[in-house]
Each structure stands twice: as C-alpha cells, then as structure tokens.
Amino acid sequence: MGVKREQRQRQDAEFSAFVAGSGRQLLRLAELLTGDPERAKDIVQSALERAYLHWHRITGDDPTAYVRRIVVNQHRDWWRRLRNRELPTDHTPDRPLAEDLAERQAERALLHQALGTLTRRERTVVVLRYYGDLTEAAIAAELGIARGTVKSTLNRALSKLRAHPELADRTGGPAGPMAHIEVTV
C-alpha cells in the first residue's frame, strides 16, 4: 500500500505542477475559442479532470499538447450541444474594469468579436496558429485534418479578419493576421 500511495502522491505533485505551469495558457486558449471567460473556465476544468484521470499515461508524452487537444475537443463538444439547446447573445453582462486596462480590454473585445465571425474550424485554426504558435503540420495532427485543409482554412479565416472593418479602423489600414492586437486573457 505504501508504494501505491507514494506513486499517487508523486503523480498528484506532477499534475499540480503541470496545472500551475500550463493552466493560464490553457484558459487563454479556451477563452479565445469560446469568447466567454466563464465557459472557458468550465471547458478547462473539464479537460483537466479528464487529464487527471489518465495522468499516468500522459506524462511520457507532451502533456501540454495532449491537454490542449482535450480543450479543443471539449469546445467542439460544447458547440455541438449548443446548437440544440442555447442561443448566444450579442452582448455579455457589464463588468467593472480598471481605467488603466480599458484600452487592452477594448482590443480584447474587438479581437473576440472578430474571432466570433469565423466558423468554429476557422477560429480553432487561427487560435492554434497565432496564439498557440503551432505549425500547420502540428495543427493538422492535433485536429486530425490534412495540412492542406489547415492552410486553406487559415487563408479563408485571415481573409475574413482582414476584411473586418473594426480591425482595419484600429490599425489605420487593412487588418493583418491579428492587426497588431496583443491579447492577454
């Protein structure tokens, strides 16, 4: 019994260290995918629960990629359920913001709005490419699609973002891939 308890404690410590090191990154990814901070927290929590149950198998591989894939899948599952139950709204409840963060919040909201105009796949590919800094090959492997599909999806998504009028207005010209908007979620 002592050996199993020690193994479990070691796994718990490894998992806690992983969450401490990657939790914010996973939450940012989920928020960019969903556009809703509360739903993002739910998705990450659910993904971490699933990862914890299989942590003994995950630690040998790249745990961040594994859990990131769970987050993407959780978002996809949520989206499928959403079509049958809920209707999204155009606005979120007001939240007080510190004055020094107003510009950052405005940019963040603008980016979320622009990402909201993309299809689920386009948004996922853009977020994984520009936020997750993954290569096209890594995105293709993570989503289980062809690399050419990633390229065409990314091209389509970036064209939509470039045509987004608010992004063009903020940069003084046509919007680029992320239009010089730095987002910290």
**Poorest-confidence range of 9-18, 22-31, 78-87, 99-108?**
78-87
Q: What pLDDT score was predicted for residue 177?
A: 46
At 67-107, the pLDDT tens digits run: 999 999 888 876 666 555 555 567 766 665 555 567 778 78
Structure tokens at 7: 């193994």
Measured CA to CA, the distance from residue 139 to residue 155 in angstroms comes to 14
- Alpha helix segments (H runs only) across the chain: 2-34, 37-53, 55-58, 63-85, 102-116, 120-126, 136-143, 147-163, 165-171
pLDDT in tens, 39-69: 999 999 999 999 998 888 886 668 888 899 9
